[in-house]
Amino acid sequence: MLANNRIVVPAYQRAYAWDTPAEGSSRASQTQVFLSDLEAYRSSNSRSPYYFGHFLFEQTQGEYRVIDGQQRLTTITLFLAALFACLQAKRALTEDEQDRYKDMIKRESQIRFKTVDYDNQTFVDYVINQSRTAAPASLTTSAQRLINAFDFFKKKLGAQPEAYLTDMLRIVSQASCSTHPVRDEAEAIQMFIFQNNRGKRPSNLEVVKAQFMYAIHLHGEDQQAKDSLIEEIQNRFETIYKSISAIEYRINEDDVLQYTLRVHFNSLWESGALDRIEKMLAAEAPLEFVKDFTNSLAISFEHLSVFFGDDERNSFPIHSLVTLGGIAVVLPFILKAYRFGLPLSDKNQLCVAFESLIIRHRLIGTRADITSRINDAYEAFTSEAPSIAPVLELIDYLKTTKNWWWAYWNNEKLAEALEIEIGHPTAKHLLWKYEVHLKCQGQRGYEPQRYSDIKRPELEHIAPSTEPTARPHGYGTYDEIFKGEYLNCLGNYLLVSKSHNCAVGNIPFAEKLATYQHNAQQREIAKFASAGSVWDQDAIQVRHDKIVAALMAEL
C-alpha cells in the first residue's frame, strides 16, 4: 500500500487525534493499545500476517487521499519512523532494511505519507527528517499529539534489544490490510458513512460533513457547480478542524454542532443534531442549507476559538465562567454576541450574569428547567435587536422574584443552599471567588488572581473530617452537631494547593495555622480562631457567615 505511492490527508479531514499515555498514567491510550497489539502478536504463534484493518482512499492524479483509516495510517508511519531510528542507533541498516525504509517512509525527497497541511511541517521536521529535537514554540494540539506519539514509540522501542526491533519491522512490513481506492468521491463518502455505522462511531460532526458532501453529489446540477460547492465545503471544514485543534481540550465538537443548530434556528430547544440535519437535507433546497449551515458552523468554531483563547486570557469574567464549567446554557448566547459584533464589555456582562445563574442552579439542586425560562429572551436576542439588556433583566428577575414559577433560583433559595454541604468542585470555585474578593478590598487597579494561577487547587478541611488522635488537637469537640453541621460547610473549607493539602493532613490546628501563609483566606484564619488557637464551631460559624455574605453580594 505504501510502496511507490503518495498518501495524503486532505485539509478538510480531521488532524491527528490519537492520545499517548501521560507519564505515570495507567490509563490505556490509543498508541499504547497499538503497541500492545503488535507485542501480543509477536508473542503468539500465529502464522497469518498481522492485520491493520481497512483503508478507504479517493484516488486522484499522483496520490491517494485518505477517506477512512488515517488515524491508524498516521500511527503506523510514526511507529515505523521511530523503529528505523532506534534500529539505526544500534547498527547500520541492511540493504533489505534500507529498501523497506524507502518503500514505507521516504525515498530521496519523496515522503510516502503527508498529514494535514497545518501540521505537516512539524511532522516532516520532527518525525521524518528528525532535524528538530525540540517541539516548536507554537503548536496545534494535533501536532503535539504527533510529537508525543513519536517520542512514546522511540522511548519504548529504544529500550528493547535488536531482536525485538527486527521482529517488529518484519511484522509491520509483512502485515496485511484491505484497501478500496475509488475515483468517485460520492462513492467514497457513501462508503465512509456505512462503514462507520459499526464499531466506534465517528463524531456527529464527521457524519454531518459526509452527509453534506453526499448531498452535493446527489443534488448538484452540473459537475462544475458540484466541484465549486465541494471546494467551498472543504475549505469551511479545513477552517473548522483548525479551530477544533485549538479548542478541543475546552469543548466537545459535537456540542458546538448542537449550539450552532440553536443559533441557526434561533431556539434553545433544538436537540438531536443528526435527525434535524437529515430532515433539512430531505426538505426543499438542501444545498442552500448545506452552504448556510456549514458557514454557520465555521463561524461558531472561529468565535469559540477567540472566546476560549485570547478573550479568556484577557477577560476575567470570561475566565471565571470558563473555569466554572458546565456552561452549555450560556454558549448559544455567547455565540450570538460574537456574531452580532457586540463589544467585550457586553460579553463580560453576559458571563457575569450567567455565571451567577449557573452557580445558583448547581447549589440549589432544583429540577426546574432553566431553558423554558430563558428561551423567549434568547429568541428575542437577534441581529435586529442585539441588546443584552433584556437578557440581563431576566436573570436579575430570576434572582429576586418570589413568583413560584420563576423563583427557584432567587436570593432566598441561594442563601439556604449556602448553609448546607456543598460539592467540592463548586466549593473550590466559590472559595476562589472569595479569595478574589479578599484581595481586591481597598485596592485600586487590582488585577484579580486567575484560577489557573493556583497550583493544583484542592479543598482542605481545616478541622479534619476524621478527629485527630493527638491531644490536644485544637479542633473543639467532635460531637454529632459538629460533625453533621460544621465539618462540611464553607466556614471549614479552605483553598490550598495539592502539595500544601498533602503536607498538613490531620496535624493539630496550631501546626496547621503556622502553614496558612499562602493566600489571603489562609492568612485571615487566625482572626477567627477562638482564644487565638482553637478551631471550633464558633470559629467556623463566624468565618462561614463572612464568606456567605461576600458570596451573596457577588452572586
* String of DSSP letters for 383-394: SSS--SHHHHHH
| Domain extents in the chain | 7-183, 186-306, 315-417, 448-554
**Residue ranges of the chain with per-residue pLDDT less than 50:** 197-200
- Position 197 scores a pLDDT of 46
C-alpha to C-alpha distances, 163 to 80, 96, 170, 438, 477, nearest whole angstrom = 16, 16, 11, 64, 67
Which residues lie below 8 Å from residue 192, measured CB to CB, with a gap of 6+? 56, 67, 68, 210
pTM: 0.76
Sign of the alpha-carbon torsion through 483, 488, 492, 497: positive
Q: How many Å apart are CA 241 and CA 245, to the nearest integer?
A: 6
- Position 200 scores a pLDDT of 46
Distance from chain centroid for Cα 326: 12
Q: How many Å apart are CA 318 and CA 307, to the nearest integer?
A: 8
Q: Is 414 helix (H, G, I), strand (E, B) or coil?
A: helix
- Position 183 scores a pLDDT of 73
Which residues lie below 8 Å from residue 182, measured CB to CB, with a gap of 6+? 56, 57, 58, 59, 188, 191
Is 101 in contact with 93 (CB distance < 8 Å)? yes
- Position 184 scores a pLDDT of 67
Which residues lie below 8 Å from residue 530, measured CB to CB, with a gap of 6+? 476, 536, 538, 539
